[in-house]
Copies of this chain bind each other. A is one copy, B any other.
């Protein structure tokens, strides 16, 4: 059976402030079913950075995450600020601020989605090879972020046990490693 496109028949804001925008859309499916409300969240676009040192260490950050209730080891990154047209420039900005590392080149590996069912924002995966420490972290007020460089082999051995717990980050990491020739096929 070939699925038919849906048609949006409604859209209202449920809750909005500077942090979140929850909308209740209404959709009519290709089969004629009415889905009302269909919730959508308008998050900003995101950049995740896969940064490798010259010794094949992966540059990671560790910080408290409320959804977990504990510290999480993650790819560095953050949001694309309003007015930032180039996700690769946003990735470099977030990476240097958060880690104090920099790299000779940053390149876009893929542009994916976090949640195509309920959000329209994009997640850009950016690869940086030859990353080295060049400056101090520049953190926002109240942020405490530890920078940890772990051997790539250690990371790969720990992925199935949730060493990096964010499924989006696992996807970005493995895609970037394939792109860099470090994983096959």
User: Is B6 in contact with A20, judged by CB distance below 8 angstroms?
Assistant: no
Interface residues on A, range: 35 or more
Dominant SS among interface residues on chain A: mixed
Kindly state the separation between the CA atoms of A144 and B30 in the bound complex, as whole angstroms: 7
Integer count of this chain's copies in the complex: 2
Q: Within the complex, which residue of B31, B41, B111 is in contact with A144, where a contact is CB–CB below 8 Å? A: B31
Across the interface, name the chain B residue whose C-beta is closest to A165: B113
Q: Across chains A and B, which 5 residue pairs bring their CB atoms closest together, nearest first?
A: A33-B142, A171-B171, A170-B171, A3-B144, A174-B174
Chain B residues positioned under 8 Å from A25 (CB to CB): 66
Shortest beta-carbon distance from A147 to chain B in Å: 9
Excluding A6-B66, A33-B141, A171-B173, 15 further A-B contacts by CB distance (< 8 Å) are A2-B144, A3-B63, A3-B64, A3-B71, A8-B66, A29-B142, A30-B64, A30-B144, A65-B116, A65-B117, A68-B120, A109-B160, A110-B162, A156-B185, A159-B178
A113 and B22 contact, Cβ closer than 8 Å, known pairs A35-B142, A175-B170: no
Shortest beta-carbon distance from A166 to chain B in Å: 6
Kindly state the separation between the CA atoms of A174 and B168 in the bound complex, as whole angstroms: 11
Residues of A bordering B, CB below 8 Å: 1-6, 8, 14-15, 17, 19-20, 22, 25, 27, 29-35, 37-41, 62-72, 74, 109-120, 123, 125, 137, 141-146, 153, 156, 159-162, 165-175, 178-179, 183-185
